[in-house]
Amino acid sequence: MSDVLAVLEQRDGVLRKVSHEVVTGARRLADALGGTATVDAVVLAAGAVQGTDALGGFGADKVITLTSGAFGAYAPEGCAMTIAARATTGGYSSVVFAASATGKDLAPRVAAKLGVALAQDVTDLAVVGGAVTVVHPVYAGKALLKLKLTGTPAVVSLRPNVFTPVQRPKAGAAETVAVEVPAGRVLVKQVKAVEAGVLDVAEASIVISGGRGLKEPANFKVLEELAAAFGGRAAVGASRAVVDAGWRPHADQVGQTGKTVSPTLYIAVGISGAIQHQAGMRTSKFIVAINKDKDAPIFKVADYGLVGDLFEIVPKLAEEIRKLHG
């Protein structure tokens, strides 16, 4: 059977946006497998999940909500057991996760339970000769590995922000099933939110990163204002230098020892563009660099560069973006 199981993510009863990408990737796989391959999307939650009704539009034929009190918070053992059981009983040919923090934790457990390989953090999916093939960046993105998965099911996790959701007019069926989940040994006690509504750099479609050119931590305010001008789609990232200096949290660091991001638009402000930083953002669709030094290496990797004083340019840019958005 060639059906594809898409594993969604929810937090506090709301579907996380990365789930659209998972369904999109699963749909691409199902279409490539051909015939009547369906995409079944599954989400584990304590109760009903908001946002699942939109998933048909991204390519899910069926959305199944598996409920249990144990799924109020992320329960790695319970989730792994449930997904693995589903994958087996459903006879799926592939299982698709997001390579989010949770997905990268859950997918290996499921793969090990199923006794199959996992292609983690892939940027492309295809089917060649009936087998799932993927592309996975390695060596900090300096090379791409093309891999074929030979086991069944093929288990993959998708790098966030790469499988751009494509809307199509189609509704999917929904079902809710209560499941029995034994108490796990690993218990999530709480989630300390960083800030309400703050977007993670790895998931934002627009990332504005600042470096030493900002001169002091308080000046990151100008980047936060620019991010706000984009109306909730933008996150503020940071170079390693300013994270090491304690100006910004490690969670915001873009680069080799931080996060690899792949937004639609990456704006590097006051960042010289060392190779280590480039490794973290070079797959962004469009890169803009703003720097006062026209010889800064960042301009070599940027699509569009602006040479000048960021303290003049960035506020002006924010103003113009705000005007655009009305």
Partner 1 sequence: MAPKFQGVDFYDTDSLLSEEERAVRDTVRAWVDDHLIPVIGEAYVAGHFPKQLVPGMADLGLFGANLPEEYGCAGLNNVAYGLIMQELERGDSGLRSFASVQGALVMYPIYSFGSEEQKKKWLPQMASGTVIGCFGLTEPDFGSNPGGMITVAKEAKDGWVLNGAKMWITNGSTAHVAVVWAKTGAIDDAESIRGFLVPTEARGFSAKDQKGKLSLRASDTSELVLQDVHVPKDALLPKSAGLKSPLMCLTAARYGIAWGAVGAAMACYDEAVSYAKTRLMFGKPIGGFQLQQARLADMLTEITKAQLLCLQLGRLKDQGKATPQQVSLAKRNNVNMATEVARETRRLLGANGILAEYQAMRHLANLESVYTYEGTHDIHTLILGQEITGISAFA
Partner 2 sequence: MKIAVCIKRVADSETRVRIGADGKSLDEAGVKFILNPYDEFAVEEALQRRDAAASGEVVVLALGPAQAQETIRTALAMGADRGVLLQADRVPVDGLEAARALAAELKDGGYDLILFGKMAIDDYNHQVGPMVAELLGLPCVTTVAHLELAGGRGTAEREIEGGVEVVEFPLPAVLTTDKGLNEPRYPALKGIMAAKKKPLDVKPVTPGAGGVVVLAMTPPPERKEGRIVGEGVVAVAELIRVLREEAKVL
Positive or negative, the CA dihedral 173, 175, 181, 186 is: positive
Residue 6 Cβ, how far from partner 2 at the closest point, in Å?
19
Asked if 307 touches partner 1 (CB under 8 A), the answer is no
Q: Cβ closer to partner 2: 169 or 294? A: 294
Residues 6+ apart with CB under 8 A from 159: 99, 121, 122, 123, 137, 260, 262
Q: Confirm or reject binding of residue 240 to partner 1 (CB under 8 A).
A: yes
Question: Does residue 127 belong to the site contacting partner 2 (CB under 8 A)?
Answer: no
Radius of gyration of the chain (CA): 21
Question: If binding is defined by CB under 8 A, does position 111 make contact with partner 2?
Answer: yes
Asked if residue 253 binds partner 1 (CB under 8 A), the reply is no
Does 239 bind partner 1 (CB under 8 A)? Our answer is yes
HSE at residue 276, side-chain half, CA atoms within 13 A, is 9
Q: Which amino acid is at 254?
A: V
* 199 touches partner 2 by CB under 8 A: yes
Based on the shown chain and the rule CB under 8 A, indicate whether residue 121 belongs to the binding site for partner 2: yes
Which position among 12, 244, 319, 320 is part of the footprint of partner 1 (CB under 8 A)? 244
From the list 14, 187, 22, 19, the residue with the least C-alpha distance to 96 is 22
The nearer residue to partner 1, 65 or 239, going by C-beta atoms, is: 239
Binding of residue 297 to partner 1 (CB under 8 A): yes
* 5, 40 contact by CB (below 8 A): yes
In the numeric block, which tokens belong to residue 96?
């698709």
Nearest to 201 by CA among 137, 243, 265, 261: 261
Q: Indicate whether 225 belongs to the interface with partner 2 (CB under 8 A).
A: no
295 vs 312 by CB, closer to partner 1: 295
Q: How far is Cα 194 from Cα 209, in angstroms, rounded to an integer?
A: 18
Q: Which of 89, 169, 180, 294 binds partner 2 (CB under 8 A)?
A: 294
Considering only 35, 89, 169, 192, the residue that binds partner 2 (CB under 8 A) is 192
Residues numbered 9 to 38 that lie near partner 2 (CB under 8 A) are 16
Nearer to partner 2, 36 or 150 (CB): 150
What residues between 188 and 227 interact with partner 1 by CB under 8 A? 212
Contact residues for 97 (Cβ-Cβ < 8 A; gap 6+): 7, 22, 103, 106, 107, 110, 155, 156, 157, 158
Q: Is 288 in the site for partner 1 (CB under 8 A)?
A: no
Yes or no: say if 213 and 277 are a contact pair by the CB < 8 Å rule: no
Candidate list 241, 268, 298, 302; residue touching partner 1; CB under 8 A: 241
Question: Which residue lies nearer to partner 2 by CB, 38 or 161?
Answer: 161
Site residues (CB under 8 A) for partner 1? 212, 239-241, 244, 274-276, 295, 297
